[in-house]
Chain A
Amino acid sequence: MLIRLVQRPEPSAGMVYVSPVIAVVLTILTSMVMFALLGVDPVKAVVTFFIEPISSLDGVAELCVKATPLILIGVGLSLGFQANVWNIGAEGQLVIGALAGGGLGLAFFDQSSVFLVPAMLVCGVLGGMAWAAIPAWLKTRFNTNEILTSLMLTYVGLLVLSYLVHGPWKDPEGQNFPESRLFHDSALLPILIDETRLNVGFLLALLVVVAGWVLISRHIIGFQIKVIGMAPMAASFAGFKEKRLIWLTLLISGGCAGLAGVIELSGAIGQIVPTISPGYGFTAIIVAFLGRLHPVGVMFAGLLMALTYLGGDSAQITMNLPNAVTGVFQGMLLFYLLASDVLIKYRLRIGAPKIQREAAQ
């Protein structure tokens, strides 16, 4: 039996939406096999992973808290990915944004002000933008590959964080733990539902989804981004300024990542700690693809991926599985998604190709 790929005359619009569903189903089936191999009852594991974490109000609130950075970063990255600008250093931009905003919070640790939170958010955005501006400048000025530079800067950013919490920003009254002081109450994002960690940050993420949708679907810049990604030659003939779009997409995605970082600090953590993010910047890459590089899709994908973090935690607590399962699960999902995406452009055909017989007749 021979399975062939036959190019569709036009990419299938339906498959764009079916493919993520196929990928999720295949991932769940494969992880059931994986759970069985690890000696765990697969059905119970899937229930623990995907259903238990969101079976309470507290769980749903926590889901939104975890989804907030994923959605924010995912929306930003998806703009760049559409223009073939591969910012994969969002993790570093998140950290620097968090440090910029969190640094302001620390500076005013003993003062109360209604302007503190907005100022921290702005600093977070600017910090993320500044970190993303480096690969943007290097790419537009020196033609340097942004994948490698943005990733290298992630390592640098994480080391800056490590330096600050172990050194100058360490809590002077904190028994030498590598943590900063706690922020003042007025530096914390307002909580939406009492007794949970759900904060205003989630609303900001939804706002960014709407803004991203307007930009990509209703604005000339979104049109230019799409053209430059699909047909770079056409874009240059049309006179779109490629360098400007590189700057723009990197600054937007960096700004979103920085905002995610400061929201994480001021909304969920409340002080600067050595690990601000469990890899949200990298997971958001998967979120962007799973969400079909569309802001609304990214929102759903962000919620789903947030569930894998909660699932990993709950599997660790109740079933004693290492929470690295989350990473395996996320990687597998992206593999299946990329594989299923072949069905957008190609049809599967079974059997050998029909041989042309005109010559014989």
Chain B
Amino acid sequence: MTITGPAGLAVASAGTTTLGADSALFGNVVSVGNVTLNARANVQGNVTTQASFFHQTPYTIAGTLSTSTSVSPLFDQVLTVEYPASSTPLNVEPNQVVSASPGAYTSLNLKGGSKLTLSPGDYFFDSATLESLSELHVSDATRPVVLHVKDQFTMRGSLPDA
């Protein structure tokens, strides 16, 4: 598979970063912990780690490999999320098609075959699960949709136009 796109920060990890065999990543990797590339892993960008680099062979790093390199120049960002109170789940049953507005929900559950369209804005969930064959759409791709998930997040559905 040919992957094209702009180089940039694709993966940033505060811990370790692992790319599996035959994985391909177009972008840069910045990792505080070790970076491991398994066989035939392909990074079309730079790899920077504050720790060590491990790999199987063969592997590809098209850009620069930097180990034991401080990543401190990147901005130290505090993220604070305050979850509003809610008692309403957002459950979409199989083959159901619904829309939702920004707000707080106890959970997000998209069953197989369901479709949910979100308006731009902030959504707050305790947990989120998108089952296989579910679809999550956005009504306006030009404006951001932010989903805050307090804990468990599993995504097996598709995001066709996210």
Do A and B come from the same complex?
A: no
Chain B residues in contact with chain A, CB under 8 A?
none
